[in-house]
Structure 1
C-alpha cells in the first residue's frame, strides 16, 4: 500500500472535488479534466507558497498590489490619448501584470534592506533573532525558560517532523519516550505562551523526513540566516561548518553560571576528600566544583573559602581556593 506524505490526503481530495464539480456542473467530461488540472496546479502552488518565508510572502504581495495600482493608473493616463479602435489598446492590459511582477521582485529583494515592513520598528526596535528549535531542544525545555526570560524573543520555527515524532512517542508503549514527548509538548506550549506575550511567532515548517530533512533544514538555515538551537552535537558541528549560527544547549548552563574570581570569598560545604588527603572538594549551588586546600579534614562542614585560581573549560568551571582565616565564621554541620 502506498503511504502518502502528510497533507497530501487533503490535496488529493481537493483535486478530485474540483474535477467532480466541473463534470457535474457542465455535464462535460472534458470540463471535469480541466477541473482536475486546475486542482493540481492549485495544490502545487500551495505547496510552493507554504515553503516561502512569511516576510518574503508579505513583501511580494505588497509589491504586486502596488504594481497593479500603478499599472491601472498608467492605463487610465494612456487611454486618454489612445482611441478605442487602436490595436495598442488591447496591449494596455499587460502593463499592470508586468508592473506587478517587477514591483513584487523588487520588494522581495530590497524589502529587508529598505525595512518597508519591519516588526522591529513596530515594537520599538526590539532585538529579534529567528531561531529553529529541533527535537533535542524541545525535549530539553530550556528554550522556553530563555524565551520567558526575554533572552530569546524569537520568532521560532519548529520542524513539522518534531510534532509528528512527539505524537508517535506519546502513543507508544515506552514509558521513557512518552515522558520525553510530554515534556517536549509542554515546552512548545510554554514557548508559544512566552512568544505570544512579546508579539513573536512560533511556526511549524515541513522539511520532509530522514536525511533529506537534515539537508533541507541546513539549506534553509543558511539561506534565511536563522540560528539553530540544538542539543545534537553532530547537527551542531555540521551547521557550524556551513557557517550557520548555532546555540548549543550544552553551553547554555556554563555560560549562565555565577563567575567566581580570584580573591572572592564564599561558603561551601566540603563533600569529600580530593586527590590528596589535604584537599577537600565541594560544589556551589550551580554545580561548579570547588577544590579547597587544607580542607581534607573538614568533610561535612560548611567552610568559608577564598578563591585563588579559577579554571574554565568547555565542560564547565573549576575553582581552587583555600580555607579563609579563622574567625571568618565556619559552621559545623556534623
Structure 2
C-alpha cells in the first residue's frame, strides 16, 4: 500500500516537473520556432507533462527501493543515538537555520536586481543555511551536558514555586543502582520493605558490566554476575516501585564509577552502593550516596561499654591472647584474653565499640577477670 502511494506521488511529481520544464522552454523561446503560440503551446505542455509522468511512473519502483535502502542504512545508526541527543540535534538545527535566515534577510532585497545577483543570493543563502545548521547541531551536542543541567535546574525551579504543600508530595529523587549493590543482593529486601522511594534507575552500562561478569571464565566471578542478574530480575518483578533501565551512556568516559557519578548529576539522583571507594569519590564531587553498609550498621543493635554479653569464641585474634567471636548479624567481637577459651561459650563485658564505614567492631574482656 505504501509503495503504491509513493508511486502515484512520484508520478504527480513527474507531471508537475513536465509542466515546469514546458513553461521554462516556452519562456526561453526554445520551442517557438517549431510551434506557434496558443493551443499548440497547451498541447506541448500537456505532451511534456504526460511524457515525464509516464517516465516517473515507470522508474518509480527503482526510486522507491533506493529510498527504502537509504532509510534502512540511516535507521540503524540513528536508533543507537539516545532520544535526548536526537531532540537536542533537531533543536540545534532549527536554531541554526533561524540564525542563518536572520542574517540573510536584511541583504536579500539588495541582491535581487538581476539574474546574476539572484543566483549569488541563492547560493549564499544555501551555504549559510548549511553552515549554521551544522554549527547548531554540533554545538548543542557538544554542550548537551550543560543543557541537561539547565533543563534540570528549570524543572527544580518550577517545582520550588509550587509551594511547600505541593513539594512534600512531589516526585522523589531517582535512586541509581551500581553493580556492587546489585550483586550484594540486600537491596532487594530493602526495596521490598518500602523504606526507599522510587524511581529506581538501572544504567545500561551497569547491566552490561553484569553481563560481562556473568560470562567470565572465573567461576567465582561468573557466579557473582549471575547472582546479580537474578537479583535484578527479582527487583523488576517483585518490587512495587518504578524500575527503569536507562540507555544513557557516556562514550568519552571509560570507568563505570565515573559514568555513575555523571549520570547521577544528570538526573539529580542518588547512588545506592556498598563500594567504599565510590562512596568517597561521590562525597568529594558532592553527589549524594546511600551506602548499604552504613544502613546495615545503623540498624544493628546498639552496644555500649559496660554491657554484658554471652558469646561463643571461635578462633584466635590477630594480637597475642585475643579471641574472636561473632554476633548473629556478623559483627566481630574481639575478646582480650579469649585465646585460651576458643571453642567455649563465655560471658564478656564490652569495653569499647569501633564504628567504621566498613562495619562495627566490639572490643570486650572476660567477665570477672581483672
Q: Give TM-score, length-normalised by structure 2.
A: 0.52
Correspondent of 2:347 among 288, 299, 304: 304
Alignment pair present for 1:112 and 2:184: no
1:207/1:213 contact within 8 Å kept: no
2:177/2:200 contact within 8 Å kept: yes
C-alpha spacing 1:51/1:249, structure 2 compared with 1 (3 Å): farther
Q: Distance in 2 between matches of 1:146 and 1:315?
A: 19
Q: Distance in 1 between matches of 2:152 and 2:348?
A: 65
SS in 1 for 2:363: strand
How many residues are paired up? 251
Q: Distance in 2 between matches of 1:22 and 1:45?
A: 24
2:173/2:268 contact within 8 Å kept: no
Correspondent of 1:133 among 177, 184, 197: 177
Residue 190 of structure 1: how far off its partner (Å): 1.9
Alignment pair present for 1:226 and 2:285: no
Counterpart of 2:297 in structure 1 is 254
1:147/1:154 contact within 8 Å kept: no
| Larger Cα-atom Rg | 2
Correspondent of 2:248 among 206, 221, 224: 206
Residue 233 of structure 1: how far off its partner (Å): 4.6
Question: What pairs with 1:75-224 in structure 2 (closer than 5 Å)?
Answer: 108=155, 110-114=157-161, 125=169, 128-171=172-215, 173-195=217-239, 197=240, 199-209=241-251, 211-212=253-254, 214=256, 217-224=260-267
Higher helix share: 2
SS in 1 for 2:313: strand
Residue 207 of structure 1: how far off its partner (Å): 1.0
SS in 1 for 2:237: helix
Question: What pairs with 1:57-72 in structure 2 (closer than 5 Å)?
Answer: none
Residue 323 of structure 1: how far off its partner (Å): 3.3
Residue 318 of structure 1: how far off its partner (Å): 2.5
Counterpart of 1:315 in structure 2 is 358
Residue 188 of structure 1: how far off its partner (Å): 0.7
The one-character-per-residue Cα deviations of 1:149-171 (angstroms, maximum 9, x if unpaired) are 32333311111123334445545
Q: Give TM-score, length-normalised by structure 1.
A: 0.57
The one-character-per-residue Cα deviations of 1:143-197 (angstroms, maximum 9, x if unpaired) are 21221232333311111123334445545554333322211111112222343x2
1:19/1:34 contact within 8 Å kept: no
The one-character-per-residue Cα deviations of 1:62-87 (angstroms, maximum 9, x if unpaired) are xxxxxxxxxxxxxxxxxxxxxxxxxx
Alignment pair present for 1:285 and 2:328: yes
C-alpha spacing 1:251/1:106, structure 2 compared with 1 (3 Å): closer
Q: Distance in 2 between matches of 1:20 and 1:244?
A: 56
Unaligned runs of 5+ residues in structure 2 are 11-59, 87-150
The one-character-per-residue Cα deviations of 1:257-293 (angstroms, maximum 9, x if unpaired) are 332112322210122455344x543222223232334
C-alpha spacing 1:164/1:293, structure 2 compared with 1 (3 Å): closer
Unaligned runs of 5+ residues in structure 1 are 1-17, 53-103, 327-334
Q: Distance in 2 between matches of 1:258 and 1:202?
A: 35
Q: Distance in 2 between matches of 1:210 and 1:135?
A: 20
C-alpha spacing 1:291/1:239, structure 2 compared with 1 (3 Å): closer
